[in-house]
Amino acid sequence: MDQTDIKILALLQKDATCSVADIAEKVNLSVTPCWRRIQKLKDDGVIARNAILLDPRALGLNLTVFVSIRTSQHNEKWTQSLINAVMALPNVVEFHRMAGDVDYLLKVVVEDMAAYDRFYRRLIGAVDLLDVSASFSMEVIKSTTELPLNAV
Over the stretch 22-46, which tens digit does the pLDDT of each residue have? 999 999 999 999 999 999 999 999 9
> How far is residue 1 from each of residues 8, 30, 31, 152, measured CA to CA in Å?
11, 18, 18, 9
What is this structure's pTM? 0.89
Domains and their CATH numbers in the chain: 3-44 (1.10.10.10), 56-137 (3.30.70.920)
pLDDT tens per residue, range 101-123: 999 999 999 999 999 999 999 99
Contact criterion met (CB below 8 Å) for 134 and 66: yes
Supply the DSSP symbol for 59: G
